[in-house]
Structure 1
Amino acid sequence: MRTSIATVSLSGSLTEKLTAAARAGFDGVEIFENDLLASPLTPEEVRARCSDLGLTIDLYQPMRDIEGVPADEFARNLRRARAKFAVMNRLGADTVLVCSSVSPLAADDDALAAEQLARLADLAQDFGVRVAYEALAWGRHVSTYDHAWRIVETAGHPALGTCLDSFHILSRGSDPKPIEDIPGEKIFFLQLADAPLPAMDVLQWSRHHRRFPGQGGFDVAGLLRHVLRAGYDGPLSLEVFNDVFRQAEAGPTAVDARRSLLVLQEELGLGSLPPPVVPTEVAFAELVTPDAEPVTSLLGALGFARTARHRGKPVELWERGEARVLVNTGPATLAHTRRGSGGGTAADGTRLAAVGLESPDPAGAARRAEALLTPVLPRRRAPEDAPLDAVAAPDGTELFLCAPNAPNAPNAPNAPNAPNA
């Protein structure tokens, strides 16, 4: 299926967000209005930039506090909508997200809400735009997806459909199974997010603590299963408000985001990833340090003994029983320098640089890692070194994939041939 991500999920300027999304392999984006307003680019330039990157603009958002309001307020809302639809035409976006109202002016009147949304859809249709109505979990009168759908159904307008958001649905504990009763063609858009399960105000929970699918406590896969059974065939889009993600580099965050969708699709039988290979045990841990003496003194105090030294690299093997620690006083590797855990390099002090994992199928594990957007890392290897593949964990730690009891593997007598440097 096509994948998309909301620009609000990433850090940086709009140009940086679009570039990160494209490089991570997303097919499209949701343009968050604040990102467009903050950009020096015109809507036409943003449209051209997305086209150059191979991205579609799948949604423009948000439009707030539209429905259920007094006539004079609704007239102002239509003027506001007209200006927004004109911007969407310049962008090349054909679907707008309308959130259920939180305005104190909004009345608890479904018939009025349906009538006004139908009039909004009339105007949208004149611009070639569709309206996707979404229930905010904290909406003043409409806070559940089934309530939003009843209003859309009552309005009965071809340019009006619903947007389903996994956070708004699952944070309220709503049963997602009745989603299957919504005609697929009336589900105009789907937004996915996971979240931990804290006791917290739902608005703060939503705005600051969302996560990508698989990183929280929601059954996002179960909800998606119901949406697909309804006949939805649009993009799987991520809308994740998270303070940490908005401060991290956009590139790695976008890769992590798309990886979450690959795993989610695999869970539903929609992907073709190589099968997972479960490691059998930890073969070794490698520490990089500018000064070996404090590290080796501590290892000695813990009962470790130095059992071997690499022939051509400043690497020693320390063992205690089945525990193996490599102490490396050489320069940091490419992965550690680029994106080390904690943000530093080996010059900053002792750090965990690599973990060796014994695997029944190292090559298969490497293929799965690459399919999940984690390429095998380049490695300087001497002729006598073990042919170990390594991939980078999100924090930059290298994960070596070792065959059990293979020659030159870390548990072999000449283990120091194995470490990287």
Structure 2
Amino acid sequence: MKPVPKTSMATLCLSGEMMNKLEAIARAGFEGVEIFVDDLQSSGLSPRAVGDRCRELGLTVMALQPFRDAEALPSDLHRKMLDDANRQFDTLADLGGDFLLACSTTREDASSESERAAETLNDLAMLAAEREMRVGYEALAWGRHVFDYRDAWQIVQQADHPALSLVLDSYHILARELELETLATIPGDRIGLVQLADSPLPRGQDLQSLSRHRRAFPGDGELPLERFLTALDQTGYQGPLSLEIFSDALAVMPTGMAALQGKHALESLRASKK
């Protein structure tokens, strides 16, 4: 069995072309990579070519993301969602990965009932399992009905499928100033992925706009990431810590420099916890 990568970076963190991003991530010493759907589509490259290059560089494809509006949709849209998911699983197979990251829906026509969300995510997890894939569910801070990791965890528990796990993103949790005591009680083996990002404190700013433009590497913002990791330690989580940084500043920084800066920031944060 291969060891689980301990550090990962999303391609969306970096400027430049897809292959340059992958090479920079590998050179910086990351062991895994999250493939951002928009980056893959704009690259003009086939998923198989990207997956082959990841393997050549020794990078594990940790996730394909984001898969939007996965839960609690009306029946006709739910069926379309499953068809879309099947195509994403095809892409994942070509990439050599097995984890699809699904974000909480922002659609107005989605049901607010957690039972409906759990039922539809169970359908998605069943489809994933048939393909020998997995799904992680993440609460977006601006989700229509699910914008709190505690609600997302409740839905994952209700869905009750081994192919479905919870994704925790420090930005979505800390920018909303959510308590971390509940996080510390979640079994680590039910957490599929942990994403890290710092940012300025919101101070009344729109959370989506702040997230899209002003995320930062750990230590370059004001969020209490050490408290987040302290709570995470109590879960027994053994998976990777992955940087997911949307940033206007990084969008103009040289690709290799940004990757190295991210790795240094992540290692500094990990060292502060020892």
Q: Provide TM-score, normalisation by structure 2.
A: 0.96
**What one-letter code is carried by the residue in structure 2 that aligns with 1:252?**
M
Taking the aligned partners of 1:94 and 1:232, their CA distance within structure 2 comes to 19
Q: What's the counterpart of residue 22 of structure 2?
A: 18
2:223 matched to 1:210? no
The structure richer in strand per residue is: 1
Which 5+ residue runs of structure 1 have no aligned equivalent? 270-421
Tell me the amino acid that sits aligned with residue 188 of structure 2: G
1:44 to partner: Cα distance = 1.2
**Does 1:260 pair with 2:265?**
yes
Q: 1:244 aligns with which of 242, 246, 249?
A: 249
Structure 2 counterpart SS, 1:246: helix
1:58 aligns with 2:43: no
Task: Tell me the residue number matched to 1:123.
Answer: 127
Aligned-partner SS, 1:177: coil
Once the 2 structures are TM-superposed, how far is the Cα of residue 148 of structure 1 from its aligned partner? 0.2
Q: For 2:76, which of 69, 72, 78 is the aligned residue?
A: 72
Once residues 114 and 175 of structure 1 are traced to their aligned partners in structure 2, the CA distance between those partners, rounded to angstroms, is 23
Aligned to 2:176, which of 149, 164, 172? 172
Shift of 1:70: 0.7
Shift of the alpha carbon at 1:248? 1.1
Question: Which of 227, 231, 236 lines up with 1:226 in the alignment?
Answer: 231
1:169-201 CA-to-partner distances (Å, cap 9, x unmatched) read 001010112112111110000000000124310
> Residue type matched to 2:210 in 1?
W
1:226 CA displacement:
1.1
**How many residue pairs were aligned?**
269
Matched with 2:106 is: 102
Unaligned 5+ residue runs, structure 2?
none
1:258-407 pair list within 5 angstroms: 258-269=263-274
Conservation of the 8 A alpha-carbon contact between 1:177 and 1:223: no
User: Would you tell me which structure has more helix in proportion to its own residues?
Assistant: 2
User: Following TM superposition, by how much is the alpha carbon of 1:66 offset from its aligned partner in structure 2, in angstroms?
Assistant: 1.5
Partner of 1:338: none
SS of structure 1 residue aligned to 2:251: coil
CA drift of 1:251 comes to: 0.4
How far apart in 1 are the matches of 2:179 and 2:272? 20
Q: 1 or 2 for the larger relative contact order (CA 8 Å, sep ≥6)? A: 2
Match of 1:135 in 2: 139
Determine the C-alpha separation between the residues in 1 that align with 2:20 and 2:200.
28
**Distance in 2, Cα, partners of 1:95 & 1:48:** 17
CA distance in 1 between counterparts of 2:43 and 2:73 reads: 32
- Aligned pairs for 1:151-170 (under 5 A) are 151-170=155-174
- For 2:43 and 2:136, the matched residues in 1 are separated by 25
> Could you list the per-position Cα deviations for residues 216-255 of structure 1 after superposition, in whole angstroms to 9, with x for gaps in the alignment?
1111121012112101111110000001101110100000
In the TM superposition, structure 1's runs of 4+ consecutive aligned residues that sit over 4 Å from their partners are none
Distance between the aligned counterparts of 1:259 and 1:216, measured in 2?
A: 15
Q: Does 1:47 pair with 2:51?
A: yes
For the Cα contact (< 8 Å) 1:152–1:161, is it kept in 2?
Answer: yes
Query: Among the aligned pairs, what percent are the same residue?
Result: 45
Whose Rg is larger?
A: 1
